[in-house]
Amino acid sequence: MSSATVHIVRTGTANIASVMAGLRRAGARPVLTDDAGVVESSARLVLPGVGAMGATMGAVQSAGLVAALRKRIEQDRPTLAVCMGHQLLGVSSDESPGVPGLGVHDGVGVRFSEASGLRVPQLGWNSVTKPEDGARFLTESGYAYFANSYCFRSVPSDWMGATAVYDGSFVAAIERGNVLTCQFHPELSGAFGARLMRRWLVNAGVEIAQDAAGVMS
């Protein structure tokens, strides 16, 4: 395996081409997989996902990847989860009652409220506030691109979280050790997202040439 290889879980429901292009721009070599062994032990794994919680979890289950994903996160292997991937780590979501998430933390997905007069889904650039101190990846505040109707309201214990405000405060991204999960789409968040992906890749041992990273402008 090349030292720039990143495995992408084939969830079947994601904007995978965008995620792969984003990783290539950041200097990595993305490779799709649905092999449980690779998912468990790959040096770098991205869990993408758009669409409904039930459909995404269904794809992960039918590919037999639930245990592999839980295990790699327990073992703190470098993992980046995006959008629905971020929500899969929780215990459940109101979007798909009765469908258990991976249960890595105790987050529960709840829907934004239209009663506030806001549009749901949230589609657009929201201002993300980084956590106080000591984050490895979430070291920067800035605008990121969101496309979601459901969210986590509070940062799980043991995790550091970046937040944003829509109908109220919600979790924009969380990190613990080598694991980073983002409600927003780093691959669609311009230079801000590219720098975040690059920090995650570098931490996971990918050597990135300045020109390949292309984010220093």
**Marked catalytic residue, from 132, 140, 187, 207:** 187
Closer CB to another protein, 73 or 151, in the complex = 151
Binding segment toward another protein, per CB under 8 A, in 57-65, 103-111, 133-141, 143-151: 143-151
Q: Is 175 a catalytic residue?
A: no
**Marked catalytic residue, from 83, 86, 95, 105:** 83
| C-alpha to C-alpha distance for 125 and 123, rounded to whole angstroms | 7
Q: Is 182 a catalytic residue?
A: no
Closer CB to another protein, 13 or 163, in the complex = 13
Sign, Cα dihedral of 20, 196, 41, 59: negative
Closer CB to another protein, 36 or 143, in the complex = 143
Residues 90-119 that bind another protein (CB under 8 A): 114, 116-119
Least spacing, CB of residue 65 vs another protein, in Å: 19
Does position 126 bind another protein by CB under 8 A? Answer: yes
Binding segment toward another protein, per CB under 8 A, in 62-70, 102-110, 129-137, 186-194: 186-194
Contacts with another protein, 46-75, as mask; x by CB under 8 A: ----xxx--x--------------------
Does position 185 bind another protein by CB under 8 A? Answer: yes
Least spacing, CB of residue 195 vs another protein, in Å: 8
Alpha-carbon 1 to chain mean position: 23
Q: Which residue of 31, 91, 111, 125 would you call a contact of another protein, by CB under 8 A?
A: 125
Q: Is 83 a catalytic residue?
A: yes
> Under 8 Å CB-to-CB from 39, ≥6 apart: which residues?
7, 9, 33, 45, 65, 68, 69, 72
The residues that touch another protein, with contacts defined as CB under 8 A, are 13, 15-18, 21-22, 24-25, 50-52, 55, 84, 114, 116-126, 142-143, 145, 147-149, 165-167, 185, 187-194, 214-215, 217
Q: Residues with catalytic annotation?
A: 83, 185, 187
